């Protein structure tokens, strides 16, 4: 595989965060947004700010799990001409610049199916992608795709929610690779003032069945949320709040704002935006 060993990159990211006594931070934003050529600059700035991994959102016209912030960004990215080819080109370019943090693609199955599952996993691996978070692909329907992905050295990350039954948690735990994405709420992505009080119960139910790292997402909007997550899980995915920072920043100051936000929400810079 031309992009190195993806499994090691993801495992190392969690191991490093664990050794430092903090949760790994995984910012999410759509590729080809706000401009078609903005992806590389945003990733470099996020990594400079302390991001442990990057989730590339691949735009889809019917993102059922996403709230209005991400839906709007997806629509604009589609209008910009977002394609999987452009995502792979951006990833390969970043790898050529020696950006070493794990890259994950987060999206929906329909565009992957249209691209061709075998072609998709091959091109993703060659571009330096480490894992795939396919929101609407449950493990019961994923055997063929998961086999292709794992043969290419890619993790397939499944989601669990507060409504997940013990049977579903056990099934996901058996299939888990890389980490399990624990959705904090029974709802869509978006900014939230507080994390749900039932979140520790969900994490406890999942942790009882697996030692795979657990990442919490949906509603992680401030440094205090990341600290709360760090007490019970291994990582925090920051989506809508990160997307809003990118949207509101003037392009000439975008890299600076992204670095400041990531430092702040990770708790590395108490004076930075996002640190509260």
The residues annotated with a catalytic role in the active site are: 55, 66
Q: Render the burial of 198-212: b for 16+ CB within 10 Å, e for the rest.
A: ebeebbebbbebbeb
Distances (CA, A) of 274 to 34, 183, 216, 221, 240: 20, 21, 17, 7, 12
> Encoding tokens for residue 169?
């948690």
Task: Answer whether 6's CB lies under 8 Å from 121's CB.
Answer: no
DSSP string, 22-87: S-EEEEEEETT-SSTT-HHHHHHHHHHHT-S-EEEEPP-S--TT--HHHHHHHHHHHHTT--HHHH
Partners of residue 156 on adjacent β-strands: 132
Give the C-alpha separation, 29 to 57, whole Å: 5
Q: Which of 108, 110, 104 is nearest to 66 (CA)?
A: 108
Q: Which residue has the tokens 């579903």?
A: 168
CB atoms under 10 Å from CB of 251, counted, come to 11
H or E stretch covering 56? strand 54-57
The secondary structure of residue 179, as a DSSP letter, is B
Q: 158 Cβ partners below 8 Å, 6+ apart?
A: 138, 139, 142, 172, 175, 176, 180, 181
């Amino acid at each position: 595989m031309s992009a190195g060993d993806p499994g090691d990159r993801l495992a190392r990211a969690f191991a490093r965060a664990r050794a430092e006594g903090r949760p790994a931070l995984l910012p999410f934003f759509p590729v080809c947004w706000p401009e078609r050529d903005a992806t590389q600059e945003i990733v470099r700035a996020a990594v400079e700010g302390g991001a442990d991994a990057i989730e590339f959102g691949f735009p889809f016209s019917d993102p059922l799990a996403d709230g209005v912030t991400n839906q709007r960004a997806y629509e604009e990215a589609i209008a910009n001409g977002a394609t999987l080819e452009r995502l792979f080109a951006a990833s390969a370019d970043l790898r050529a610049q020696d950006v070493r943090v794990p890259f994950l693609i987060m999206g929906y199955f329909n565009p992957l199916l249209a691209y061709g599952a075998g072609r998709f996993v091959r091109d993703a691996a060659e571009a330096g992608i480490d894992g795939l978070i396919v929101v609407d692909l449950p493990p019961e329907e994923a055997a063929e795709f998961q086999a292709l992905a794992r043969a290419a050295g890619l993790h397939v990350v499944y989601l669990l929610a507060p409504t997940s039954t013990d049977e579903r948690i056990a099934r996901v735990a058996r299939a888990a690779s890389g980490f399990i994405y624990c959705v904090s709420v029974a709802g869509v992505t978006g900014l939230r003032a507080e994390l749900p009080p039932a979140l520790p119960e969900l994490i406890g139910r999942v942790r009882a069945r697996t030692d795979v790292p657990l990442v919490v997402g949906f509603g992680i909007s401030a440094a205090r949320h990341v600290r709360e997550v760090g007490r019970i899980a291994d990582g925090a995915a920051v989506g809508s709040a990160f997307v809003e920072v990118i949207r509101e920043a003037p392009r000439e100051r975008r890299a600076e704002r992204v670095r400041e936000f990531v430092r702040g929400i990770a708790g590395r810079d108490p004076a930075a935006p996002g640190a509260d």
